[in-house]
A and B are shown apart, each in its own frame.
Chain A
């Protein structure tokens, strides 16, 4: 846990002062990723650098697990926090193994423990130790170097990880991948992470919470979906962007919006003509066909008009099935691509769980924005 209590940072002396951070108060809970977000010069990096005392606090206190960082030895403090930076900062003169081993060596770990740890970490960031252990940073691609940077930050198994735009220098495709991998690792490790970013997409994706800064002040500190749906002021809504409704779609999962008991579902063995009658009665144009509990496809009135057998004979397959954890953004994208208004939700065993419609998604978005005035 990291607690920032009325933290102020002023650079310079006398007449020539710049207030980089003004009266910032918030808490990072144990095991959470908090994104420090904002444009350059907003104070996000300063906040991070105050945390491991690369900068000194002007006023206020920072506590790590209830201990004031000013009462700790600087070098000890830094060694117990992992630190990953934007330009990676791997030492070109050291092998990959030696780069990862920096902090364990500083801490005086025994040699064989360091060796084991290096292999464990490289495997974790998906670099084969046999291949990469003895290579040099220059021989690795940017993305691979950044993985080593992450491994190095985690080397001494610190409870806290400070990350300063760690994936900023990587091309977008590799960035997505490394972000996903990092989230997987974090799921296991549950580190307390302070993560600086200027990218709202990255913040939404990675953050359990987002701390949005403006000119050295903390403007809003919230979970990503709240930041998107209930921006505190114009600065926040501008920063998250006019397309924030679409961004919310990336956070809200299908599981939160789907209909577990849709009315337009029919068993595959039902005769087509019976279904046609029901459709006429209910004025439904689209029916999902399920066999046992597996979705087999869908039928429309046109398709079954002249069919004598069961509906399953004419049902067309869905192009794709959704899972509960699919982001609604992806669901919507499939609907637009394949021109469907309804898609099925299935579980791991491909069993039918319910349906999602375009309206379900729209309704949820409107709910999220309820109470907000039109802009």
Chain B
């Protein structure tokens, strides 16, 4: 109840921090998609490169977020952005790469060879095959990767408050510093609700983007 009161009393601030959170997560997701999806597609043509890229993304993923902020600080300080939103967004983009690249890569790879064979044999060029066949078939798994990345990033963005990026993590951080349970809870609650809503939204997006034929195929094979 006290937590709810806290939120209501500070609603302008809550809205502002929420907006910051949404901004960080969405801008990083957009950029990460623009990098990760094409990269995931390109590496399906080169096994060696695929291994290196996915391993690289894996290594980034294993670095704890706090440590990653620490590592980036001196580098970004050179351009005057050691603290704030820039390191946060860069970190979110980096973390998103593994789910996005891996899902894209696996999804395209899993398109059955007979589809590819049929497409090529009928005279589709590389681009037509990708556009007409491979991507529509792969899209549910690709979007599932984006969904994982988005939800994960909401959590990581909360930690980014420690490098002064703002967002709902500010309540958690300040609340701990000031031993103010209502504030901690408000931050935690809002981040959680945000994550759940985004997860549901992405699930809807996944469904909306999946071609009807694939939905029917899935339904019938269950």
Contact = CB atoms under 8 A, between A and B. Distances in A.
Contact of A76 (B115, B123, B124, B221): B123
B114 A78 contact: no
B212 interface: yes
Interface residues of A, number: 29
B114 A85 contact: yes
Contacts of B118: 83, 85, 88-91
Contacts, number: 83
B217 to A, nearest CB: 4
Interface centre among B120, B213, B214 (most CB of A within 10 A): B213
B217 A137 contact: yes
Contact of A93 (B122, B124, B213, B221): B213
Contacts of A92: 137, 211, 213-214, 217
B34 interface: no
Nearest to B116: A89
B220 A79 contact: no
Nearest to A75: B123
A37 interface: no
A83 B122 contact: yes
Contact of B124 (A85, A94, A106, A138): A106
Given A91-B132, A93-B136, A136 B123 contact: no
Contacts of B124: 75, 102, 106
A127 B148 CA distance: 43
Interface string A80-123: 00010111111111110000001100100000000000000000
B193 to A, nearest CB: 35
Contacts of A86: 114
Contacts of A83: 118, 121-122
A87 B220 contact: no
Contact of A136 (B128, B133, B217): B217
B138 to A, nearest CB: 10
A139 B137 CA distance: 16
Interface in B137-181: 137
B128 A106 contact: yes
A139 B215 CA distance: 11
Nearest to A162: B121
Interface string B205-222: 000000111101100110
B12 to A, nearest CB: 47
Contacts of A313: none
B128 A91 contact: no
* Residue of B122, B128, B216, B221 most packed against chain A (CB within 10 A): B122
B117 interface: yes
A54 interface: yes
A167 to B, nearest CB: 15
Contacts of A88: 114, 118
B112 interface: yes
B68 to A, nearest CB: 38
B117 A95 contact: no
Given A87-B112, A106-B128, A93 B214 contact: yes
B123 A78 contact: yes
Contact of B133 (A77, A85, A93, A162): A93
A352 to B, nearest CB: 52
A92 B213 CA distance: 5
A103 B123 contact: yes
B125 interface: yes
Contacts of A74: 123
Contact of B114 (A52, A77, A89, A93): A89
Interface string A314-339: 00000000000000000000000000
A86 B214 CA distance: 21
A22 B136 CA distance: 40
Interface of B: 112, 114-115, 117-125, 128, 132-133, 136-137, 211-214, 216-217, 220-221
21 contacts: A54-B120, A74-B123, A83-B118, A83-B121, A83-B122, A87-B112, A88-B118, A89-B112, A89-B115, A91-B137, A92-B214, A92-B217, A93-B136, A94-B211, A102-B119, A102-B124, A103-B122, A106-B128, A139-B216, A152-B122, A162-B121
A-B pairs, top 3 by smallest CB distance, nearest first, are A89-B118, A136-B213, A78-B123
